[in-house]
A and B are shown apart, each in its own frame.
Chain A
Amino acid sequence: MDKNTINEMDNVVVRFSGDSGDGMQLTGTLFSNLSAILGNEISTFPDFPSEIRAPLGTLGGVSGFQVHLGSSKIYTPGDDADVLVAMNPAALKVNIKSIKKTGIIIFDTDSFEKSDLAKAELLTDNPFEELGVSDATQLIPVALSSLTQKSLEGFGFDNKTILRSKNMFSLGLICWLFNRPIDKAIHFLENKFGKKPDILHANIKVLTDGFNYGNNLHLTVSTFQVDKSHDTPKGNYTSISGNKAAAWGLIAASQKSGLELFLGSYPITPATDIMQELALRKDMGVKVVQAEDEIAGVTSALGASFAGSLAATTTSGPGLALKAEAIGLAVMAELPLVIIDVMRGGPSTGLPTKTEQTDLLQALYGRNGESPVVVMAASTPDNCFHFAYMASKIALEYMTPVILLTDAFIGNGTSLWKLPTLAEMPEINPPYASSEMTDYRVTTRNEATKVRYWSVPGTEGLGHRNGGLEKDYFTGTISTDPKNHEKMVETRMQKVNNVSQIIPELKVEGNENAELLVIGWGGTQGHLMTAVNSINKKGGKIALAHFNYINPLPKNAIEVIKSYKKVVVCELNSGQFATFLRSEVSGVEFLQYNKVQGQPFTAAELEEHFSKL
């Protein structure tokens, strides 16, 4: 390839990888944001270890950030990387299986000394040969550390501070490789380091030197060009992570409903970012109680709900288990409550930083007694906003706990987000009890919807006693009457089923004459859509029904499923949604495609599997 060749690509995957402290997350974020500003579709995924700072250069400490850029619609952060930036041999070793054969590896020669190879548990002097890197892969050795040291000579920084900037050298190099002007990157740096002019100046210097180094590189490397996307609907965009989007969805619902937002929560990976984002938003009047444990997180939220707030709690699998009894109380007390579970690998502590869809049955059934709740799932980083908003709306309008499932993949990943306005969000109308209800009881309800009327402490004339004991349907007092209990069980179930009246019908995408229906739910949507589109592009006939609402199911779900000859349910667990569908839809043979590795699907593995069905 000639030095000046430009490869025009529809989409490209870049993976930055190094030690946890190498600044790979920042480098990746800056690169994806400036690509988006230049009009690309983007999707990103950070992949980091649960150790905060594992020993330098070891396999356990490798932190990665993958960016997918496209000039047409992209749905995922991509499967294998076209370009890998490896800051040390451990990063190379960890990522070796996810680089395309014809890809490019940029690596820091200063970190490929004998001792570095030993830390990565490599046995020979040639890691590329040892790891079986293909001859078709281009290697670009760059002395990132020493070049950065040279770049910052005379700045008066100590060596440790200087080396912290080497990620900017690699970013400069990548900007050159992708024909990205660096002025946008400089603009981002100004926003980030504006208050530390020394650091800002140093970072800009290293970034610029990295870019120029690429420009003057004596090696022959072709650069990439990914054009502006024309598939993206016109509008104002930002890039947003699923966790931040979920936090903002709750804020939007609070503003729309006019209710104060209360979050009771306890730090847990990978959900903590939601609490941290909400703690920042005092300007929006958000009250955040960092509770003493998961149980106090949910019970303080339930107290706030009883007192008239829009109340939420955020957690991951182990936390959801601890909250189970309190969610049952919310079912019994018929109080609105939003529970966001950012799922991770389980059981027990499991794989705290990795993604899985293994909490579905826990969300549906993990409580004592007949305890129906609304269960829904977001499917992309940006739609965490919409579904957190809808979870709030449903909880408030149906006086019920709602469990919103997201996962580490979409929670930490980012995608483009078209900025909404509050005006365009649907109305939220909680069923307030009116002071004209002269005989108001805690169980007074709308007989059509079965929704209980909400009277908030402080309101004169509507005092009542709520609680976890069974209540008489009519008087609201404690009751152990057998028939009454059954009636109350049915009423609470009917109320949750009635939510199907306001949720959208299930949409099928893909080929209209498809015989094979792929079914997915939650955060796997991007990979499933990519695989289905790819098969159809090659002349296949396949369709995708992706679920965001699980309990209750969309009204047309059964009819849709029954209209296909073959149905395969794909999920990152051992078949939990398939199990649920079997209990809801009779006479259908549900095939399964499952993966429980703490990692998302790849579009390639899905495509391969679907082609065989």
Chain B
Amino acid sequence: MINAEPTTIKYVAKDFKSDQYVRWCPGCGDYAVLNSLQKVMADLGVPPHQTAVISGIGCSSRLPYYISGYGFHSIHGRGAAVATGVKVANPKLSVWQITGDGDCLAIGGNHFIHSVRRNVDINVLLFNNQIYGLTKGQYSPTTKKGFVTKSSPFGTVERPFRPVELTFGARGTFFARLLDVDLKNSQTSIMAAAQHKGTSVVECLVNCVIFNDGAHGYLAEKENRADRLIMLEHGKPMIFGKEMNKGLMLEGFNLKVVTIGKNGITDKDIMVHDATNEDSTLQLKLAMMEGPEMPIAMGVIRDVVEETYDYAVEKQIADVQAKSKIKTFDDLIATCEHWEM
């Protein structure tokens, strides 16, 4: 969310492009997310100079160089903490944190869960390509078990993280998921993240064309995509499929896919998505769905309102200052028990 003063200037994506040459590999999924981000920034209407983009280290963490306005490319894993400092110091800024699956969930895991727990008002774009790209192809905390990489020549023996579970475990208030090649959903999800007050986590499923090509191929394949994913929208029934005739219902504690028009099921039987429910149980179930039995959930999965950390910090200071007689440093000094010598 942005507290910057509204502006009447209309921006276009180009206003958020820096003069730097973008250096990702040709075909990298990061290009698409960058374009979506610049488009959203323009639509938001926050001037570039009120925008701060913070990152750690990794391929995706180069992104701040490509956005005009203010950027800080910090050190590996610490982007969340740097972004926290930026936002607390100046809550008027629109603060974005760009991070990858290694930067965010391995070396930066601690900062990630704590910024989510505090609900600092920052927008986190977590580029998940399930691989270390910049160091040339080692497994990451989200790499599927058994996957062969340069550091797991016989397949990883590790169980991967799912970013949504960490986010919810840290009591996150916003989680969305997008696919690099799906520009429309990307923009919708990034825009929702920007408008959410608090830490907005957007898991961006991006393809690493060099070291993990096709990691998200199951979804990226255009002809079957509509059957394999479900676009969640708050207040809308959970319907998907090429013919938009499949839907989600509850069966006991579990979700199941039904076909509208079969077995007497009508669209009225289909569950309506509630992203604003504070109880994240069902949202987690949705986010954890896996193919081919279930569609993979995309879009805004959770979006609840909670006080933000930066606001609470400012408010506490304002409350104390309103009551305190100590206004200046000299007032403070005068509060010491002192004597003449």
Contacts and interface: CB of A to CB of B under 8 A. Distances in A.
A457 B93 contact: yes
A217 interface: no
Contacts of B340: 234-237
B336 A419 contact: yes
A300 B88 contact: yes
A333 B110 CA distance: 24
B84 A191 contact: no
Interface in B313-341: 313, 316-317, 320-321, 324, 326-330, 332-333, 336-341
B90 interface: yes
Contacts of B328: 255, 422
A234 B341 CA distance: 5
Contacts of B81: 264, 291-292, 295-296, 299-300, 303
Nearest to B50: A458
Contacts of B87: 303
Most buried by B among A282, A457, A460, A468: A457
Contacts of A120: none
Interface string B107-128: 0001100100000000000000
Interface in B33-80: 47-50, 52, 54, 57, 64-65, 68-75, 78, 80
Interface in A437-482: 457-469, 477-478
Contact of B313 (A287, A308, A468): A287
A435 to B, nearest CB: 10
A203 to B, nearest CB: 17
Contacts of B93: 307, 457-458
A422 B330 contact: yes
Interface residues of B, number: 55
A305 B48 CA distance: 19
Contacts of B82: 299-300, 302-303, 306
Most buried by A among B47, B54, B90, B341: B341
Contact of B321 (A39, A252, A256, A285): A285
Interface in B181-215: none
Contacts of A282: 316-317, 320-321, 324
B11 to A, nearest CB: 14
A465 to B, nearest CB: 4
B329 A251 contact: yes
Contacts of A465: 18, 20, 64-65, 70-73
A420 interface: yes
Nearest to B111: A296
Contacts of A584: none
Contacts, number: 197
Contact of A422 (B50, B64, B65, B329): B329
A131 interface: no
B171 interface: no
B85 interface: yes
A437 to B, nearest CB: 14
Nearest to A418: B341
B309 to A, nearest CB: 9
Interface in A300-330: 300-309, 311, 325-326, 329
B332 A251 contact: yes
A260 interface: yes
B92 interface: yes
A34 to B, nearest CB: 10
Nearest to A462: B49
A33 interface: yes
Given A282-B316, A458-B49, A303 B89 contact: yes
A469 B84 contact: no
B85 A289 contact: yes
Contact of B20 (A236, A305, A309, A477): A477
Interface in A27-48: 33, 36-37, 39
B193 to A, nearest CB: 20
Contact of A466 (B71, B92, B338): B71
Contact of B332 (A191, A284, A459): A284
B232 to A, nearest CB: 31
Interface string A320-352: 000001100100010000000000000000000
A575 B314 CA distance: 46
Given A292-B114, A299-B78, A303-B86, A467 B64 contact: yes
B270 interface: no
B333 A421 contact: yes
Interface of B: 18, 20, 47-50, 52, 54, 57, 64-65, 68-75, 78, 80-90, 92-93, 110-111, 114, 313, 316-317, 320-321, 324, 326-330, 332-333, 336-341
Given A236-B341, A478-B65, 18 more contacts: A252-B329, A283-B321, A283-B324, A287-B88, A287-B313, A296-B80, A296-B81, A299-B78, A303-B72, A303-B74, A308-B89, A333-B72, A419-B333, A460-B49, A463-B49, A464-B70, A466-B73, A467-B64
14 contacts: A251-B332, A262-B85, A287-B317, A299-B74, A299-B78, A300-B81, A306-B86, A307-B85, A329-B74, A461-B49, A462-B49, A463-B49, A465-B18, A465-B64
Q: A-B pairs with the 4 shortest C-beta distances? A: A303-B85, A467-B73, A300-B85, A304-B89
Interface of A: 33, 36-37, 39, 188, 191, 229, 232, 234-238, 240, 248, 251-252, 255-256, 260, 262, 264, 281-287, 289, 291-293, 295-296, 299-309, 311, 325-326, 329, 333, 416, 419-422, 457-469, 477-478
